[in-house]
Chain A
């Protein structure tokens, strides 16, 4: 019991600390690639601490949903983070159905975020919510299909089991179904983290913004929680992609040596994935909103093909 708490505590600390760092790394890399100097890597931490110390403005029309949303978003993201193998194959927490719980806890957070956007009655928030739900209606099945492909190969939906099987089969990532699933999940990752072909994370005043439109009315500590929650969600999704498809260096147990080595491998893989995301973000223009479903449809079809090809070959 105590060791379980220790594992959960360790992973939680790692999760909370690495998430803003990763956002910072992506921002800096992106700026460098566009020959700007860009913010310091640690800027994301500073933003969060600054926001936590500030006062809040809560709209008069807001109900309890407005205040509950930041906590729900943050807690669901952190909870999901505990269910994902980060540096070891053994995740501290596993709830009903493993990966299904991961997807739907994230969906719960998104649902409340959309409600929070609607709650103040501002037209921007409502638009953001409606867009978010429209896109997630296609992104979610695509994600499920891609993940089921991996789960099928491991014959378990438990993420720790999936990671163990992935580590034991080193050539597995060459299978076509895995590659199709990776492509599908990467598109979903871009969409879910609000990155450029789908949404622009750097905007605060754009008619087509999605995530930023929903959190437009939030300020102070609430905004800090939402931003932190969003970066944890990003970290969780990236970890999911990296550790299911490229499980190199995941340690099998919770020893200090295994953890240290696992952490180094983990951070390297995450930075590499961040580079890929930055490359995609810099070389693409933002899609028109009505073109985004086409992109997600590609991801859906890729996921479906991945699942089919597992059965046939």
Chain B
């Protein structure tokens, strides 16, 4: 099993998984069913945890294992479960009308990925770094693309819940960038971010429920008036 020690092999597996993450993100842009979007996010987070695990394995960095485990439990398990329960409770299963229609949004997502690749290329100097240190560097493009597409999703969708999903994929992009560039930020920072996201989603979840109760809709464009 010598290839398990080979950083070249790890690099290929990571790149492949990053590509899968990207494919899932583009699929999520075209997705209208809320439950499917949530599941796509769950699978994406699972892959991210796997990427973090592989980077930890090849760099013998134990604190990344913790980050990977946290991602697995929180983002691939707890958050999707919570969001799916929310979908069941508010009984809205479909995003009816994004601001920009699906084919055009997918095209825009593709362009954003291109931007990600172009930006990441300026960080890529394969001749200056060793193979082991360069491990996962080429996932930076995917990370930036995830970040931009997450932003775009938040702008494009009207339902509060899909905006939350946009925020979460944006955060996934940040995590991937941090993991691939620096082999993980210090654990305290990671924990802080995880806790932040968790609380944000919980609060947003409750907020979505309240918005729905008060306005009979999750459409945030209806929240125009301030009440006294």
A binding-site residues for B, Cβ under 8 Å? 171, 174-177, 179-180, 183, 291, 293-295, 297-298, 301-302, 304-305, 308-309, 312-313
Quick check: B113 and A305 within 8 Å, CB to CB?
Answer: yes
Kindly list chain A residues whose C-beta atoms are within 8 Å of the C-beta of B117: 308-309, 312
User: Which residues 9-25 of B sit at the A interface, judged by CB distance below 8 A?
Assistant: 9, 12-13, 15-16, 18-20, 22-23
Alpha-carbon distance A199/B27, docked complex (angstroms): 20
CB-defined A-B contacts under 8 Å, sample of 9: A174-B13, A291-B102, A297-B102, A297-B107, A301-B26, A301-B109, A302-B26, A309-B117, A312-B141
Among B9, B13, B30, B109, the most chain A Cβ lie within 10 Å of the Cβ of: B30
User: Which residues 104-158 of B sit at the A interface, judged by CB distance below 8 A?
Assistant: 106-107, 109-110, 113-114, 117, 121, 124, 138, 141
Is B103 an interface position by the 8 A CB rule?
yes
User: Which 7 A-B residue pairings sit nearest by Cβ, starting from the closest?
Assistant: A176-B19, A301-B110, A297-B103, A174-B12, A294-B102, A174-B16, A312-B117
Alpha-carbon distance A179/B20, docked complex (angstroms): 8
Quick check: A176 and B15 within 8 Å, CB to CB?
Answer: yes
Quick check: B27 and A301 within 8 Å, CB to CB?
Answer: no
B binding-site residues for A, Cβ under 8 Å? 9, 12-13, 15-16, 18-20, 22-23, 26-27, 30, 102-103, 106-107, 109-110, 113-114, 117, 121, 124, 138, 141
Alpha-carbon distance A291/B103, docked complex (angstroms): 9
Measured CB to CB, the closest approach of chain A to B43, in angstroms, equals: 14
Q: B16: which of A176, A291, A312 is its contact (CB, 8 Å)?
A: A176
Measured CB to CB, the closest approach of chain A to B72, in angstroms, equals: 23
Quick check: A298 and B106 within 8 Å, CB to CB?
Answer: yes
Give 20 new A-B contacts, CB below 8 A, not counting A293-B103, A301-B106. Answer: A174-B12, A174-B15, A175-B16, A176-B15, A176-B18, A176-B19, A176-B22, A179-B16, A179-B19, A179-B20, A179-B23, A180-B23, A297-B102, A298-B27, A298-B30, A298-B106, A301-B110, A305-B26, A309-B19, A312-B121
Alpha-carbon distance A292/B114, docked complex (angstroms): 24
Quick check: A171 and B106 within 8 Å, CB to CB?
Answer: no
Residue of A with least CB distance to B8: A171
Measured CB to CB, the closest approach of chain B to A287, in angstroms, equals: 11
Q: A175: which of B15, B26, B114, B141 is its contact (CB, 8 Å)?
A: B15
Measured CB to CB, the closest approach of chain B to A293, in angstroms, equals: 6
Alpha-carbon distance A291/B94, docked complex (angstroms): 15
Kindly list chain A residues whose C-beta atoms are within 8 Å of the C-beta of B114: 305, 308
Alpha-carbon distance A177/B20, docked complex (angstroms): 11
Quick check: A313 and B26 within 8 Å, CB to CB?
Answer: no
Alpha-carbon distance A302/B141, docked complex (angstroms): 15
Alpha-carbon distance A151/B13, docked complex (angstroms): 22
Residue of A with least CB distance to B11: A174
Residue of B with least CB distance to A311: B117
Quick check: B30 and A171 within 8 Å, CB to CB?
Answer: no
Measured CB to CB, the closest approach of chain A to B29, in angstroms, equals: 9
Alpha-carbon distance A281/B30, docked complex (angstroms): 19
Kindly list chain A residues whose C-beta atoms are within 8 Å of the C-beta of B109: 301
Measured CB to CB, the closest approach of chain B to A310, in angstroms, equals: 11
Measured CB to CB, the closest approach of chain B to A290, in angstroms, equals: 10
Kindly list chain B residues whose C-beta atoms are within 8 Å of the C-beta of A180: 19, 22-23
Alpha-carbon distance A305/B26, docked complex (angstroms): 11
